[in-house]
Chains A and B, each alone.
Chain A
Amino acid sequence: MEEKTSKRREAADIVREKSKAGFLVSAEELFPTFDSEGAAKPETGDAPTRGESGLDSLMAENTDLNALRAKSGTSFYYSSQFMSDPYARMLLRKQEGAAELVANTVREDSDRYPRPTPLDVFKESPFDLGPEELHSCLEGMSNQNEFQDISQLTTSVGHVFLYSSKYLDRDYALMLAEWIDVGQFENP
């Protein structure tokens, strides 16, 4: 019993350390920790994967741990002590492909702040999309119905921004992009 508790503590610490470093931990990554206590390996698709695996106890004992399930069914874990929910969602979207990542990030920005999203943001961590990957992603999105709300605009200094027409009309998005890209620096 003590050994099991210790294993769960170890697992929780792994999730926390990974969260601190900016990574999610998949259920698969945690299984080796539980294998030694004889927990059954859950079937892929039964997520969030807990049950016999000891993950139930892990989550119950460590209230800072949260689980997210990808469309593939894989579960991912993070500690809210070190990682925010939106950041974890960003990382999850990354698992689901560049188009989902870009589109949902842009929608969230357009809706919540509201603001258009500079294209260059996606080249940086945690998105880490290379220029070619980003280019082909945008090209692909333009041909898919589910991404038709994602539009592009260019500021007066030539930088590309994306916005969702569900939440921002073009004129407003243009004005905001110009403010982010030029205006705020001219009004320091």
Chain B
Amino acid sequence: MVTKGGWAGKVLRVDLSTGRIWTEDTIEKYKEYLGGTGIGYKVFWDEVPAGTKPFDPANKVIFAVGPLAGTGAPSSSRTAITTLWPTCWPKPLVASGHMGGHFAAELKYAGFDALVIEGKAERPVWLSIADKKVEIKDARGLWGEGIRRTTYEINHLMGPEASVAAIGQAGENQVPMSVVMNSVSHSAGGAGGIMGSKNLKAIGVRGTGSLRIARNKEDWEKAVKLHLSILGANNQHVVPNSPQPWAEYYSVGSRWMASKGRRWEKSNPAIETGPCDPHQLNRIAYRTNNAAYFLGEGAWQYTVRGNGCTSCPIRCHTLLRVPAVATKYGIPEYGQNTCGGLNFGRTFYRSFPDGPRGQTSIEACMVGMHMTDDLGLWNNYNQIQRDFIKLYYDGTLKSKLGENEFKSYSWDKYEKGDPSFLFELLPRIANKEGALGTALGLGTGYHLELWGISEEEWKKDPALQYWKMGHPKHHSNEDAGQCGVIINTQYNRDAQCHSHSNFTRNGLPVEVQKRLAADIWGSADAVDAVGAFTPMNRAKAKMAKWSLLRKELHDSLSLCNWMGPWVASPLKERGYRGEDTLESLLYTLATGDEKNRDELDLAAERIFNLHRAITIRDMGTKDMRTRHDTIPPWVFEDPQGKPSLTKGTIHMDKQDMEKAMDLYYEEMGWDKISGAPTASTYRKLGLAAVGDELKKKGLVP
């Protein structure tokens, strides 16, 4: 019985073509889909017919959050953006992007669980949501401006607490490789051009309301404390990066960087992170320093602080102050981002004069963040950089670009690792200038097609990390063997799933991981040591299904799958166990809708199968196994010729992967021949009507 906690209660709808603004009841229409991607896929199934194109006014873009956003649950600030993905090749299909920041909480406090935008405004507009007052406003004065100025201008009008999700010039120009970004550094790739096609420059949202926690407040506080206690650091790394007195284990691959003597040197005064005993819950924010993780010890001298999202103590964005870049490049000394955003500029280069983690590399990060986070460019999990390096060094650019255009770039600077080269390249991508800028902005599948390069060529080269449909792998065999491969076959863009990789990379010794795996997936054989993969088994298929469902669950509740999955912990007294019922505990207490772990996982399965159904409908085929769930050849080849499934290689065996897909489809209740959900699976998940509609089209096995 729902007593209406957690959810704000309304879905806001805006038709930019007509200017109509209205609302729907969240619980009445979307409760079985929870929120986030669940609402996104439900709207898509119901309202966006097959054949719609990404930049058509009929395409919709859904900004949806879940019942945990704004509740104060840790790491609960993700906004899922669902739309037709413009970089999905050869045919755009439904997908979702995810941004952190402060947008999710503000939207909830304004009274909305989701915002569905359709149509196209006649002229540039921005959407103002100030609690229940929703207005479409003139954005002609902002059009042509970058994300930063747009954000500041709207914050000037709405107040500093408002969260502004804006597009830059890339989005305005309908560049497929563009982002929407809120709160200056929190972006979702791929959706910027969709907003641009609707003449929608930005969405400003300010909420002054509150949310209700349905159940006992003390139980809620206990659940939040439990979550905090098992949180770990960024990517749920649960051991520190260096030996600490309190720690039984450590791993140099961990993003838990804090240690005695490591300091945020550009704070005034400098702040020592300290050893960060996991029981000190008020020091979680000191654990992670992603700049130091990626850029080495030298980054500590430039660190001001960690930054991040509403109610997330992880602070995965690192705020840097690098005075040299103001002098050398005329850009602000400050920059902040995490992971791909932090490394955007740096990863265009093969090398730097002072090494991969030297001063020049740090400066390339600063220039990259300054440019891309204002222009609103997307990196497609670093595929744009890998493509660029390949195309330049194999001579393609020289042969394909006109002589004048080729000479207009300072290639000597590029080869020397000079960050100022980025000033030549990045604006041209955002503004579709020249053949190179235009092509790179299209995304991999479309620029290969434009230049007459076979996708198969990209699929053979392991260095390119290209997977399929215009997108790269995202935590595949290198992280979790067959489980990682299965996960990477499932989406219409890079998989973005971290449920499996954050577990295998959590830093615990393999014997401990195996003990935890036996509890979660029924057998220690679900996981292997890195690079020592064993043949496929049932537990691995269960792990793959669990990983995907938890990703969808997190995306629907607004929990951050980048920080999850919280089934391990840094606590020795728990035997390093996390809490597999955490999501259902938080969900039940917040909403009052009693659901145990299995019941909530079933909701996630419904959402994931709806994504599958939309993909089947829009591809017009049920033959997913051979036409969608494909694996690139590089996965099956070892550069040194080592046999598959032996120690020291990550490459997979073809027959074994066939078995892996069989077992996975069985676990999902999908037909093994086609890889499509069966009618009984649709029925079991409460999607009988979806199954019936697909059956009429001959799309159910």
Task: Give chain A's interface residues, CB within 8 Å of chain B.
Answer: 19-22, 82-87, 90, 112-115, 118, 121, 124-127, 157, 169, 171-172, 174-176, 179-180, 183-188
Q: How far is the CA of A107 from the CA of B664 in the complex (A)?
A: 38
B247: CB under 8 A from chain A?
A: yes
Query: Looking at the complex, which of B71-79, B202-210, B641-649 is the stretch in contact with chain A?
Result: B641-649
Known: A87-B245, A125-B242. A180 touches B343 (CB 8 A): no
- Other A-B pairs beyond A125-B260, A175-B650, 15, CB < 8 Å: A20-B245, A22-B244, A87-B245, A90-B243, A112-B511, A113-B529, A114-B510, A124-B242, A125-B243, A125-B259, A127-B243, A169-B647, A175-B531, A175-B649, A188-B294
Q: Do most interface residues of chain B lie in helix, strand or loop, or is the interface mixed?
A: loop
Residues of A within 8 A of B260 (CB): 22, 125
Residues of A within 8 A of B339 (CB): 188
Which residues 216-261 of B sit at the A interface, judged by CB distance below 8 A? 242-249, 251-253, 259-261
Q: How far is the CA of A64 from the CA of B557 in the complex (A)?
A: 41
Q: Evaluate contact between B245 and A19: CB separation under 8 angstroms.
A: yes
Q: Which single residue of chain A is at the shortest CB-CB distance from B244?
A: A87
| CB < 8 Å neighbour of B248 from A85, A113, A176 | A85
Q: How far is the CA of A109 from the CA of B245 in the complex (A)?
A: 17
Q: How far is the CA of A70 from the CA of B642 in the complex (A)?
A: 44
B505: CB under 8 A from chain A?
A: yes
B551: CB under 8 A from chain A?
A: no
Q: Which 6 A-B pairs have the closest CB atoms?
A: A171-B648, A172-B648, A84-B248, A22-B245, A172-B647, A175-B648
Q: How far is the CA of A169 from the CA of B649 in the complex (A)?
A: 13
Return A170 CB to nearest CB of chain B, in Å.
Answer: 9
B340: CB under 8 A from chain A?
A: yes
Q: How far is the CA of A176 from the CA of B648 in the complex (A)?
A: 7
Return B328 CB to nearest CB of chain A, in Å.
Answer: 25
Q: How far is the CA of A87 from the CA of B259 in the complex (A)?
A: 14
Q: How far is the CA of A34 from the CA of B408 in the complex (A)?
A: 81
Q: Which single residue of chain B is at the shortest CB-CB distance from A178?
A: B531
B461: CB under 8 A from chain A?
A: no
B509: CB under 8 A from chain A?
A: yes
Residues of B within 8 A of A172 (CB): 531-532, 647-648
Return A130 CB to nearest CB of chain B, in Å.
Answer: 16
| CB < 8 Å neighbour of A87 from B243, B294, B355 | B243
Return A178 CB to nearest CB of chain B, in Å.
Answer: 9
Q: How far is the CA of A134 from the CA of B380 in the complex (A)?
A: 42
Residues of B within 8 A of A174 (CB): 648
Q: Evaluate contact between B252 and A179: CB separation under 8 angstroms.
A: no
B478: CB under 8 A from chain A?
A: yes
Residues of A within 8 A of B244 (CB): 22, 87
Q: Evaluate contact between B648 and A169: CB separation under 8 angstroms.
A: yes
Return A26 CB to nearest CB of chain B, in Å.
Answer: 17
Known: A113-B510, A176-B530, A187-B478. A87 touches B247 (CB 8 A): yes
Q: Evaluate contact between B245 and A84: CB separation under 8 angstroms.
A: yes
Residues of A within 8 A of B572 (CB): 84
B468: CB under 8 A from chain A?
A: no
Known: A172-B531, A179-B531. A82 touches B510 (CB 8 A): no
Q: Evaluate contact between A113 and B294: CB separation under 8 angstroms.
A: no
Residues of A within 8 A of B427 (CB): none
Return A151 CB to nearest CB of chain B, in Å.
Answer: 15
Q: Which single residue of chain B is at the shortest CB-CB distance from A84?
A: B248
Q: Which single residue of chain A is at the shortest CB-CB distance from B513?
A: A113
* Residue from B245, B253, B294, B529 having most chain A Cβ neighbours under 10 A: B245
Can you spell out 29 A-B residue pairs with CB atoms less than 8 angstroms apart?
A: A19-B245, A20-B245, A22-B245, A22-B260, A83-B245, A87-B245, A87-B246, A112-B511, A113-B251, A114-B529, A115-B251, A121-B242, A125-B242, A125-B260, A125-B261, A126-B243, A127-B243, A172-B648, A175-B650, A176-B531, A179-B478, A179-B531, A183-B478, A184-B505, A185-B294, A186-B382, A187-B475, A187-B478, A188-B343
Residues of A within 8 A of B511 (CB): 112
B356: CB under 8 A from chain A?
A: yes
Q: How far is the CA of A185 from the CA of B532 in the complex (A)?
A: 20
Residues of A within 8 A of B245 (CB): 19-22, 82-84, 87
Q: How far is the CA of A153 from the CA of B425 in the complex (A)?
A: 38
